[in-house]
Amino acid sequence: MVQAGDFKNGLTVEYEGKVCTIIEFQHVKPGKGSPFVRTKLKDIKNGGVVETTFAPTDKLPTAMIETTEYQYSYKDGNLFVFMDNNTFEQVMVSEDDVKDSMKFVKEGENVKLRSHNGQVFAIEPPISVELVVTDTEPGVKGNTATGATKPAIVETGAQVKVPLFVNQGDIIRIDTRTGEYSSRV
């Protein structure tokens, strides 16, 4: 349990049956009345943000979030299958639970699974990945100085904007946080 007077940004708590991260808080001492803590809580499962206030003595239970490294094995229907590198235990995660976080991850890649009470709610892919461009229009020589981009499909099936000089078969580095092209390998 943590008192509202002890809130810190990034602290994970349980609020109204949901697991939330404190993204912003402010201690307010009005001229009249009792002091209070104004907070913004982000639901870690669906991303919704709630603004609420607490008395400084209100208590909320802290939520234990477990982050474990797994290797992405394969996709089975609408389930992603991951293997623990230490115990070889397999975990299946629904495609609906992980949304777009798997679009740049290929088989054999290590990812971090975040879970609460044994239920996986998020996947953290590596910060940057190297993928082969499987489909793109051919680049035209001389157009590279303009900084223009074109769409390209990478081996995982995701679409990314790349410079005109990138060709089919090239290996490119992508920043998974933004989904943007970083460099050619």
Q: Which of 123, 100, 120 is nearest to 110 (CA)?
A: 123
In this predicted model, what pLDDT tens digit does every residue of 105-156 receive, in sequence order?
888 899 998 888 888 888 889 989 999 999 988 866 665 556 778 899 999 8
Taking residue 23's Cβ as centre, other Cβ atoms within 10 Å add up to: 13
Residue pair 63/42 in contact (Cβ under 8 Å)? The answer is no
Q: Which of 141, 149, 91, 99 is nearest to 123 (CA)?
A: 99
In this predicted model, what pLDDT tens digit does every residue of 56-89 receive, in sequence order?
999 999 988 888 899 999 988 888 999 988 888 8
Please, what is the Cα angle at 82 between 156 and 89, to 5 degrees?
A: 160
* All domains in the chain, ordered by first residue: 2-60 (2.30.30.30), 65-124 (2.40.50.140), 128-184 (2.40.50.140)
Is the pTM higher than 0.75? The answer reads no
